Structure 1
Amino acid sequence: MSHDSQHCSFVLVADFDIDRGAQLTYQFPQPLGTDEGLIANLMLPDGAERQPADWTVFFLNQTPFNTIKPILALDNDDDENTDEDGSRMLYVINLVRTKLDKTARRGAIVKAMAICTRYPFVQIFKPVLLLALDDYFMNPSQDCLARLFDAVNAMDFSKMPLLTRFEKLIMRCSERQDLFIGRFDDYSPFNDPGTATQQTASGGFPPTARPTHRPTNSGDSRVSFDESVKGRAGNGVGNSKAAGQMRSPTSPSEASFSLDGSAVWVGDESGLDQMGFVATAASASSSSISSAARGRRSTDASSSSSQSHGAYGRPGEGPQSFAGAASAALKDSHFFHTAINYNEHLLPVKVPLSTFLEEVGEGSLTMLCTTFSPTITTMNGPLHPHLHTNGALTPPVIVLFNALITGKRVIFLGHHKLAENVSNHVLAACVLGSGSGVVLRGFIKRAFPYATLINREQWESVPGYIAGVTNPIFEAAGAWDLLCDIGTNRMVVHKDIYANHPATWNPTSNQLIIRAGTLKAESSVGSEEEVVRVPTKEGAAPQKPEVSAKQDHPDNIFIEDILSAIASHYSEAHIRAKFVEYTTRFVRIASHYEEEVTGSTTIGYPSYAYMERPGEKPRLGSGVYFSDDAALARELAVNAGRIEGWRRTECYRLLQTEGKQVLATKPIQGFDLAHQLSRLRYAKMISDGEAELIFRSISESVHTYEQVTELLSMLPPHLHGLQPLSFGLFHQQEVVREVVVDLFNELRAHPIGVQFLQGLNHFQRYAYVRQAHAREVRMKDTNSLSIPQSAFMTRTLSSRSESSLGGG
């Protein structure tokens, strides 16, 4: 995403004519060059005249039938969003409104206006569309389109930070509102206000540079420990003031500790000096947005005539924009705060900074899981191994997930429902299947959030389409594999699912032999048909394999956890993080399955356990982690059906082609980091040798900013953050404890690492600070340096505590 490119590519207007039907009235600044009837019908959904307002989302440059001509000269700075032919997906947010008018032939006027953009977060344009369509109702001319076009494109993104993949993963899993605050241009809390800092083109610190912390005195800093804790371990010793100065990238300094016996690490919990920050924000001047007049061709869709237009409603003529990082930091750094000045109305805009390409619009997993909760959803149709991982007890959302990843045709039906409701369910399904856009790709390319009868043949020809419809005729037509009725909470598997998608995997078949946690096929094969066939009698029709159902199935437990989190009002970000974890584990299990069946894998690390032999260098384990061989055999058997279905899809091929590149470009190289963290989290027993090698490998591989963010992105708060690494602080071997202190010191040299360290509980933080400070004192002793009086007091208190514990 470049800051100097257009935010709005087209503005479209459609009207409903009682004689001619839906008509595309205006296209600005030039014609799309595609089927105008198709666009008009997408903008005016069925039943729009019965609703006061409705929203739809659709895409351009998605398939040959909705590719615009000529291709816009958009910058191709994002390879993920660019097709092989160089065209880019355009996302369209559309508002349709019906106004009662007794003078009209049908008693109402129906008009729609749409913005075409290359940003997936199309919801940011809703407020300005509401104003612009009202303006168009009062004065239906293409001048309204020009004003909207100019206003949106004048929106200031110049100071918006561009986060890396790992920064996005960290931000989306945390509720802290000061994450990566130093990446905003207007204010950096780690430098003195008014001091110019070297910035990258995208804003913020260069990825490899370590920002220095802004020094503060002890009176200005806030203790990051609870005040009540400070007096607990002091044994009557008075609390001393702790210095709040953040250190340079070495080991913790004495100023970072209170020396009253409690060894409390202090520092600003938010990473900011509040007084200095507020002063900086208050003195930050608002920058006005100026847009130069641009000549362009404005085409009336109903005629071939065109004329030139200048800029309308330039923001520089109205109120000043408050776009700036200081205001953003005061609110929430998860968003970039800017504004759109339309007709002298300053509309605040919050641009989400952690959005991935498969996350379009306002699709909500919370909404999706609530709509198809097991307690209210009626499941109909045959069981299929690709879809039902737990037989008849498979949760509806898991059935949908399996249908999405195995490339089944999915329709969301909302009879008498708003098109917006249907569209949001389709967009949520894309989030579900892709693991919030973090794990898999290819779902948006086959998604049609609102689909019509006009182009039915075209979108039904897309393999594995995901469509949203409001017309019940689509259910009767039967050109689907899974029907999700959001109005009646039904989920129906098509009766001909086996004819359309033959299932040759049978969980009760003896063709797959699982022994000692290893899956073996009778022959070295690569497809489902070759792996296993459903046993049938000679000359008889294929039988439908039966899938066993268990109440304690992992999928059922997972959905129960999700529904419990929703009932407890956990955020949408938390729900998405759990599905990212679920999808990631599925891919890692699929990688292990593929390796067992074909002998190798192209979508992940090879699977092997930790190995330590006399005379040989120890080798860390790799691949998906299982608690024991029985769990390995059980999960491979459970997932085999949907894995084989997935391996036939374009989604799998996309991951396969990108897998090697992703592994080759990861900042942390040489070992499977996810496997090591899983061992620390879940292993019942780890040998001393493996523990030392795990912590040493991580510590020696984490030095640059990119390596720090990769590590922290795999330690989200909902998985207890740095807790797995903190276990090393209490290891029986001193060498392990020393390595973990080194690692935490490295994290502490980065602002984001400081915030993660602040997430440790008091006991873990105490252990780190005490050991880090003790080592610093030992180093001073070794160098024959004088010991400060404060450190001497700490040693004295420590010796007194030891003598008292010994019964003296």
Structure 2
Amino acid sequence: GAVVKAMAICTRHQYLHIYKPALLLALDKYFQEPSVEVLASLYQAVNSMDCRYMPEFNAHEKAILRASENKDMFEEKFIPYENSRKHIRDNSGTGNEQPSNEGSGKVSGITSGTEENPNSIYMNNDDYMPVSEEEKERLERERLANLKKGTYIDLMPNLNKNKDRHFFETKIVYNGIKLPIRVPLTVNPEEVGDFSLIKLITTFSPPSPTPFNHAFHPHLDSSGNQTHPIILLLNALLTQKRIIFLGQGHPSGDVANYVLSACAMGSGSGGVLRGFTERAFPYTNLTNVDDLLKVPGFIAGVTNRIFEDHSSWWDVLCNIDTGKITVSKDIATPSYGTKPDDKLEEGTRSPSSSRSESWGREKWDTTDNEFMAE
């Protein structure tokens, strides 16, 4: 007698997790009053989120922000945002508040036509003063002179220094409820959602790893049968193996987070390699098996144990309950490096191409394991 309903938002934004609070409110309302109007109001609310002044960082700036815990870096990129907030506060105090035109203009780094003059600065008296090119050059000369004297002048005294500039703060108003939203600004191309890479690593890093007992595979076993599980998973991602994350009885969101974490890990924190999210299925089920098997090197999350019994469907299976990684007995063997008498051209020979399988399992370098231990 249970009633199951689902609701989703389709977006190109990687930070899709910010919409979850609005989705929960809309779904609750839909249970009470199932109608198209609920969906229409949700659509209007999320598309009215004001992102006009959200700054965009290039790859180098993102790398600096990600490596720093300093919350007030790149303050200058938030001048238009702080100016708009000050304008609204001043007008609301005098009763002359103007419409905010939320949702227009800068949606993802595109400057709107109503943005304030960029050739402007804040002065100490809280006035918003236009600055000519000559004045800007004079101020720059003074700034350099003060630096030589060891004097510091804050050219942005009115910016809110208590904000975390790793995020852009805005809001979604749904059904009269203001939902505070923090949009992450340092997301790399292959990072999607609010995943935990630490959780992925700890789940599949046993305190005392046991040797694998599957047949040696040159793509996966970079340290023979002593290969660390995380290194094996990374090798599987890089060599485009079919990977399943199984969580029997878990919510679909659990396995989805493991899939998204694996995509981020394989791509180098989302900023080095590409294509992992294109072959990711954060959650799938038996009804989609045929479509899943058509995708080479898929990375999928499932909650049905039947997948574990069909080893021909996958190459590597990661059980999030046991923390065990299993290599399928049906995994395809590469056409090189499997027999001692293989004749390969110079430049394509692998370490295992002239050795037996037992040598490959016993003699591989174990520096990967030392790295994981650290």
TM-score (norm: length of structure 1): 0.37
Matched, 1:375 2:207: yes
1:375 Cα deviation (Å)? 1.5
Separation in structure 1 between the aligned mates of residue 155 and residue 345 of structure 2, nearest angstrom: 62
Q: Determine the C-alpha separation between the residues in 2 that align with 1:253 and 1:357.
A: 38
2:189 maps to a residue whose letter is L
The residue identity in structure 2 corresponding to 1:175 is: E
Confirm whether residue 166 of structure 1 aligns to residue 76 of structure 2: no
- Structure 1 segment 284-683 matched on structure 2, within 5 A: 330-375=162-207, 379-478=212-311, 479-497=313-331, 500-502=332-334, 504-505=336-337, 523=346, 525=347, 528=348, 534-535=353-354, 546-548=360-362, 553-561=366-374
Q: How does 1:260-299 map to 2 (within 5 A)?
A: 267=152, 276-277=157-158
Q: Structure 1 residues 267, 381: CA separation in 2 closer, same or farther (over 3 Å shift)?
A: farther
Distance across 2 between alignment mates of 1:503 and 1:249: 65
Tell me if the contact between 2:281 and 2:301 (Cα under 8 Å) persists in the aligned partners. yes
Report how far residue 380 of structure 1 moved.
4.7
- Percent sequence identity is 43
Q: How far apart are the structure 2 equivalents of 1:399 and 1:370?
A: 14
Using the TM superposition, give the Cα deviation of residue 181 of structure 1 relative to its aligned residue in structure 2, in angstroms.
Answer: 1.3
CA contact (8 A) 1:395 1:555 kept: yes
Distance in 2 (alpha carbons) for counterparts of 1:164 and 1:334: 13
**CA displacement at 1:338 relative to structure 2:** 0.5
- Quick check: 1:414–1:485 contact (8 Å CA) kept in 2? yes
Structure whose CA Rg is larger: 1
Tell me, in whole angstroms, the C-alpha distance in 2 between the residues paired with 1:117 and 1:201. Answer: 17
Letter in 1 for 2:336: T
Per-residue CA deviations over 1:720-763 (Å, capped at 9, x if unaligned) read xxxxxxxxxxxxxxxxxxxxxxxxxxxxxxxxxxxxxxxxxxxx
After the TM superposition, which residues 225-236 of structure 1 pair with which residues of structure 2 at under 5 Å, given as runs? none
Deviation at 1:402, TM superposition (A): 0.5
1:172 Cα deviation (Å)? 1.4
Instruction: Give the 3 Å change call, closer, same or farther, for CA 248–560 of structure 1 in structure 2.
Output: farther
- 1:544-598 superposed Cα distances (whole Å, 9 cap, x missing partner): 7623467x8432232223xxxxxxxxxxxxxxxxxxxxxxxxxxxxxxxxxxxxx
Task: Assess if the C-alpha contact under 8 Å between 2:75 and 2:165 holds in 1.
Answer: yes
CA distances 1:581-637 after superposition (whole Å, capped 9, x unpaired): xxxxxxxxxxxxxxxxxxxxxxxxxxxxxxxxxxxxxxxxxxxxxxxxxxxxxxxxx
After superposition, give the CA deviation of every residue in 1:410-459 in whole Å (9 maximum; x if it has no partner).
10011122211111000000001001111000000111010111111111
Taking a change above 3 Å as real, the CA distance of residues 213 and 152 of structure 1, as seen in their structure-2 partners, is closer
Distance across 1 between alignment mates of 2:351 and 2:20:
51
Do the aligned residues in 2 keep the contact of 1:373 with 1:397 (CA within 8 Å)?
A: yes
Identify unmatched segments of 5+ residues in structure 2. 84-89, 91-105, 113-117, 126-138
Give CA deviations for 1:30-66 in whole Å, capped at 9, x if unaligned.
Answer: xxxxxxxxxxxxxxxxxxxxxxxxxxxxxxxxxxxxx
| Distance change >3 Å, CA 531–CA 482, structure 1 → 2 | closer
Q: Contact 1:448/1:467 (CA < 8 Å) preserved in 2?
A: yes
1:758-793 C-alpha deviation (Å, 9 max, x unpaired)? xxxxxxxxxxxxxxxxxxxxxxxxxxxxxxxxxxxx
Q: Distance in 1 between matches of 2:209 and 2:29?
A: 43
Amino acid at match of 1:546: G
CA distance in structure 1 between the partners assigned to 2:232 and 2:66 by the alignment: 26
Shift of 1:211: 10
CA contact (8 A) 1:213 1:247 kept: no
SS in 1 for 2:56: coil
The 3-state SS of whatever aligns with 1:351 is strand
Q: 1:213 to 1:169 in 2, by over 3 A?
A: farther
Superposed displacement of residue 110, structure 1: 1.5
Contact 1:511 1:532 in 2 (8 A): no
2:100 aligns with none
Contact 1:394 1:556 in 2 (8 A): yes
| Unpaired stretches in structure 1, ≥5 consecutive residues | 1-105, 189-193, 204-208, 217-244, 257-265, 281-325, 513-520, 537-541, 562-808
Q: Distance in 1 between matches of 2:147 and 2:155?
A: 19
Higher relative contact order (CA 8 A, sep 6+): 2
CA RMSD of aligned residues (A): 3.5
CA distance in 2, matches of 1:157, 1:487: 40
One-letter identity of the residue aligned with 1:128? A
Q: Provide the rounded CA distance (Å) in 1 between the counterparts of 2:194 and 2:250.
A: 17
User: Which of 44, 47, 51 is equivalent to 1:150?
Assistant: 44
CA separation of 1:250 and 1:145: change in aligned 2, threshold 3 A: same
SS in 2 for 1:339: strand
Give secondary structure in 2 for the equivalent of 1:391: strand
Q: Deviations over 1:129-148 (max 9, x none)?
A: 11111110110111100000
CA contact (8 A) 2:213 2:225 kept: no
Match of 2:8 in 1: 114
Q: d(CA) in 2 for partners of 1:548 and 1:179? A: 50
| Distance in 2, Cα, partners of 1:132 & 1:115 | 11
Residues 176-187 of structure 1 aligned to structure 2 (within 5 Å):
176-184=70-78, 185-187=80-82
Q: How does 1:715-754 map to 2 (within 5 A)?
A: none
Q: CA deviation at 1:202?
A: 4.1
**Contact 1:409–1:480 (CA under 8 A) maintained in structure 2:** yes
Pair 1:341–1:186, CA change in 2 (3 A): same
The alignment's TM-score, normalised by the length of structure 2, stands at 0.78
CA offsets per residue over residues 72-131 of structure 1, 9 Å max, x none? xxxxxxxxxxxxxxxxxxxxxxxxxxxxxxxxxx2x321111111111111000111111
Q: Cα deviation per residue 1:205-252 (whole Å; 9 max; x = unaligned)? A: xxxx99999899xxxxxxxxxxxxxxxxxxxxxxxxxxxx99657577
Query: Which whole-Å CA distance do the structure 2 matches of 1:510 and 1:455 have between them?
Result: 42
Output the CA distance in 1 between the equivalents of 2:7 and 2:324.
Answer: 33
Q: 1:248 to 1:452 in 2, by over 3 A?
A: farther
Inter-partner Cα distance in structure 1 for 2:320 and 2:334:
28
CA separation of 1:511 and 1:153: change in aligned 2, threshold 3 A: same
3-state DSSP of counterpart to 2:54: coil
How far apart are residue 175 of structure 1 and its match? 0.9
